[in-house]
Amino acid sequence: MLITTLGDLLLDVVVRLEQPLVAGDDQVAVTRTGAGGQAANVAAWAASLGAGARYVGKIGDDAAGKLVSAELEELGVEIAGPRQGRTGVVVSLTSSGDRSMASDRGAAVDLSAEELDPAWFHADVLHVSGYALHREPLAGAAARAADLARAHTAQVSLDISTWTLVDDDFRARVRALEPDVVFASERERAAVGDLETRWVLKHGRRGIAVDGRHYLARETTVVDATGAGDALAAGFLVGGPELGLEAAARCCAKLGSMP
């Protein structure tokens, strides 16, 4: 099985706080830096679960881009796409398992449809990060990628990613994409509205609901929830709900979003 993902490969900065931040003062934290970004995370987890994995996106040609590319390749992921500009950075603040994120997506949003090679989408599944549908030209590249993938009978999946950024343009792009599978929280599903698809509804510590059935989350000690949804998506696409929940639990039990 080969999964191709489209979206971000970023420098991930995870900050685990011992106590909440204090405005204008210092606080003790444990930090981790490394490769991240939703599409890259899904590809890495798919590779760790035994699938072939390819990441497609525009990566900065700076030192950060070289660092995150090398890490992703070491995890068994093929990287495809142009290198130009500045690598984006995501800062994730986590405390007691909850997290807040600040995202700078850098060159990733500049990938255009004209820069895609049809061979990149000869796969069983194309997984699109919802963040790819918020801005052009990346949104147009995602639409073109879906067409290329379906020309080779691939399934197209989408993670809505965030409800706060959903607007009419985003909703229109989701409908035009016609994803076969959509990963979303209840709030994200409500923001998107009616859609003919297979919904995988994420309920956090309570598990997931899919095809009218609820699956309980695996017991684990939550260290950091960053990337758990990406691990879930990879596991689900590779082996179904149970493998998705197992991967999500593994992700939550450590610091950082990668396997």
pLDDT given at position 247: 98
Q: What share of the chain is helix, strand, coil (3-state, %, to 5)?
A: 35, 30, 35
Whether the predicted pLDDT of 96 surpasses 70 = no
What's the pLDDT band for 97 if we cut at 50, 70, 90? low
Residue 218 DSSP code: P
What's the pLDDT band for 16 if we cut at 50, 70, 90? confident
- Ranges of each domain in the chain: 2-7+38-87+109-252
Closest CA to 14 of 91, 89, 101: 91
Cβ atoms of 53 and 3 closer than 8 Å: yes
Cβ atoms of 258 and 224 closer than 8 Å: no
Whether the predicted pLDDT of 112 surpasses 70 = yes
Residue 55 DSSP code: E
Q: Residue 178 is encoded by which pair of tokens?
A: 């016609």
Q: Residue 248 is encoded by which pair of tokens?
A: 């999500």
Write out the H or E segment, with its range, that includes residue 50: none
What's the pLDDT band for 186 if we cut at 50, 70, 90? very high
Beta bridge partners of 213: 210
Average pLDDT over residues 239-258: 94
The 10 Å Cβ neighbour count of residue 168 is 7
Q: For 201-242, what is each residue's pLDDT tens digit?
A: 999 999 999 999 999 999 999 887 888 999 999 999 999 999
Q: For 129-165, what is each residue's pLDDT tens digit?
A: 999 999 999 999 999 999 999 999 999 999 999 999 9
Cβ atoms of 11 and 102 closer than 8 Å: no
CATH number of 2-7+38-87+109-252: 3.40.1190.20
Q: For 21-45, what is each residue's pLDDT tens digit?
A: 888 888 888 888 899 999 999 999 9
Average pLDDT over residues 4-25: 88
Q: Residue 115 is encoded by which pair of tokens?
A: 């820069």
pLDDT given at position 103: 83
pLDDT given at position 29: 87
Whether the predicted pLDDT of 128 surpasses 80 = yes
Residue 172: strand, helix, or coil: helix
The mean of the pLDDT values for the chain is 94
Cβ atoms of 188 and 163 closer than 8 Å: yes
The percent of residues above 70 in pLDDT, for the chain, comes to 98
pLDDT given at position 98: 64
**How many Å apart are CA 3 and CA 225, to the nearest integer?**
23
